[in-house]
Amino acid sequence: MHSSKTSAQLLFAAFKKADIRDIIVSPGSRNAPLIIESLAAGYRPEVIVDERSAGFTGLGMAQQTHRPAVLICTSGTAVLNYYPAVAEAFYARIPLIVVSADRPPYRIDKGEGQTIRQDGVLEKHTHYSVTLHLEEAVSENSKLIKEAIEMAFLKQGPVHINIPFEEPLYRQVAEPVKFEPAIRTVEEDRPVSEQTLDEVEKIWKKAGRKLIIVSQLPPGEMLNEQLRRLALFDDVVILTENIGNVKDPLFLEHIDRLIFPFNEHTWQEYAPDLVITIGNNIISKKIKYLLRQQKPAYGHWHIGKTPIQPDTFDVLRYKFDTSPEMFLSQLLFRIYDWQPASEYKVLWHNLAEKRRKAHRKYMKELSFGDMKLFDILADTIHSPYQIQWGNSTVVRYAQLFDFAKGITHYSNRGTSGIDGTVSTAVGAAKRTTDKVLLVTGDLAFRYDSNALWQNFPENLKIIVIYNGGGDIFNFIPGPSTVDRYKEYFVAASLADPDVLKVISGFQPEILRTESVEEARAQIEDFLSNPHSRLLLVNSAAVNNAEILKNYFDFLISE
């Protein structure tokens, strides 16, 4: 049986035509026509009560499939709870289709329950936002739905379709309205013009020191090979963050391990003439700071489709709105026989080798704590694991260590919030056959604990690091100068196993030891055990911030 509402029928006919596969519903009444029609269309939507968690779960699904996930909610404040996930999707370029049910326009601001001004409420962080007409405008609504779906695919980002429904909401009909659903169009990847390539080639050959930074991208074998070919040039250095998902012995993976001890003076020896960024937001604050202080003479190029102007270093010269693979294939064709005379690559690789030796020496003598935990994880985790990294200190620690080839890395770095860490990992695990490991802090885990109301994927494991609260505020300069900063910034949370059992629904394992070998054995057992789901690592008694500060001081001294 179909909903009697033609706008609901139009919507799901368009979803089927566009091969939309993932639908998440948060229960309500005003969205009843959408739920009814989703079932009539053959979908079996995921049901997630908390819209904030639903939003990030859909984001995790779309992160894996690269296809829009649909979020459906009732009227009122429900749609506002999607906003954190929508903002993350906007900046991380992940496709979402938000569908909010609404009351008719003539009932807005007239005292109706569950009624707010929903029209355009997500507009600043969506690529398309529309409120459909009431039922009679079939042709116009069909066109608006088509445009919304197209933008989600083309922009690889979020869109919002707000649908007003008059009562009755639950009426069903045997036969749907007859109409031809719109067909989704596909935009081809456009090459860079020959004129622009002439300019680019000239700059490339003038700039004797080129620094390419790669961050926050899905895995891509072609891009990895193209970057490897660029890394063979003596005037090119490629810095990568693990969430960039490219890996090669010629790439330098640990940006902060290399440059965190630098000041503006020592940076001058390593500063580039041209900086090129590929992917979304860079994690390292230090590389952004240094490149802003000493701007490259030939400026900054950004390669890739982004919803914003990525002028990260305040010196953007070119934004190539095409895929990195397309641009680099054109560039490599132009410069394949280029033979620069430069010591730039040797300079950076000598630094990397020096830092590698210092890192290993420090790790060898280090007792158990947060930093040693990441050292153990890097030694223990192997493909086909994918890791979902929590934000703040977790994802920053992860940049300092060498993880095995074949592991994929993800983190919500579009907005860098902690609000959807668990839900994103749950959604990702539901749409991949890989083993998924979420590594997150205790505050982020508790903040997003509603993620575990839904069915827990069998391929997901979670490591929760309890270090006494938001440990990044013990490390960054500033918070400790404020009275009672631990209360107001670090915000220590409870890590009682009984509390975590209630939150998660299963008994957590507890890792509480000073022995590195015991910790390693327990982590290996946790990862290999098919039944273990949650490991709580209690390092609250360790001065983790001091260990991290000493680490960076040690890199300079060696």
Peptide bond into 479 cis (omega under 30): no
Residues of the chain with CATH 3.40.50.1220: 194-350
Element (H, E) at 526: helix 516-528
pLDDT given for residue 409 in this prediction: 97
Residue 499 reports pLDDT greater than 80:
no
pLDDT given for residue 509 in this prediction: 85
pLDDT given for residue 512 in this prediction: 80
Query: Closest by alpha carbon to 82, among 48, 55, 62?
Result: 55
Task: Report, as an integer, the average pLDDT of 381-387.
Answer: 91
pLDDT given for residue 504 in this prediction: 65
Pick 495 or 434 by higher pLDDT: 434
pLDDT > 90 fraction of the chain, expressed in percent and rounded: 76
Residue 235 reports pLDDT greater than 60:
yes
Question: Residue 446 has what DSSP assignment?
Answer: H
- How are strands ordered across the β-sheet holding 236-240? 236-240, 210-215, 274-279, 300-303, 316-320
What is the average pLDDT score of the chain?
Answer: 90
Per-residue pLDDT band at 299 (split at 50, 70, 90): very high
Asked if 203 and 298 count as a contact pair (C-beta separation under 8 A), the reply is: yes
Query: Closest by alpha carbon to 366, among 197, 539, 227?
Result: 539
What does the pLDDT look like over 309-339, one tens digit per residue?
789 999 999 999 999 999 999 999 999 898 9
Question: Cα–Cα distance between 311 and 491 in angstroms, integer?
Answer: 34
- pTM reported for the whole predicted model: 0.92
Query: Closest by alpha carbon to 141, among 22, 42, 12?
Result: 12
Contacts of 412 by beta carbon, 8 Å cutoff, 6+ apart:
56, 59, 88, 92, 391, 420, 421, 424
Residue 181 reports pLDDT greater than 80:
no
| Radius of gyration of the chain from its Cα atoms, rounded to whole angstroms | 25
pLDDT given for residue 392 in this prediction: 85
Element (H, E) at 303: strand 300-303
Pick 20 or 113 by higher pLDDT: 20
pLDDT given for residue 364 in this prediction: 94
Q: Domain spanning 194-350: which CATH class is it, in words?
A: alpha beta
φ, ψ at 33 (rounded to 5°): -60, -35
Give whole-number Cα distances, 248 to 168, 210, 235, 245, 330, in Å. Answer: 60, 18, 17, 10, 22
Per-residue pLDDT band at 183 (split at 50, 70, 90): low
Element (H, E) at 555: helix 544-557
pLDDT given for residue 541 in this prediction: 78
Q: CATH: 3.40.50.300, 3.40.50.970, 3.10.105.10, 3.40.50.880. Which one for 2-172?
A: 3.40.50.970
Q: How many CA atoms lie within 13 A of 548 on its CB side?
A: 25
pLDDT given for residue 101 in this prediction: 95
Question: Cα–Cα distance between 194 and 246 in angstroms, integer?
Answer: 28
Residue 483 reports pLDDT greater than 60:
no
Which of 88-97, 166-175, 411-420, 474-483 shows the lowest per-residue confidence on average (mean pLDDT)?
474-483
Task: Report, as an integer, the average pLDDT of 267-291.
Answer: 96
Residue 487: left (phi > 0), alpha (psi -120 to 50), or beta?
Answer: alpha
Per-residue pLDDT band at 477 (split at 50, 70, 90): low
Per-residue pLDDT band at 454 (split at 50, 70, 90): confident
pLDDT given for residue 478 in this prediction: 52
Between β-strands 172-173 and 408-411, what pairing exists: parallel, antiparallel or unpaired?
Answer: unpaired
What does the pLDDT look like over 42-93, one tens digit per residue?
999 999 999 999 999 999 999 999 999 999 999 999 999 999 999 999 999 9
Residues of the chain with CATH 3.40.50.970: 2-172, 366-557
Q: CATH: 3.40.718.10, 3.65.10.10, 3.40.50.970, 3.30.70.1150. Which one for 366-557?
A: 3.40.50.970
Question: Cα–Cα distance between 332 and 336 in angstroms, integer?
Answer: 5
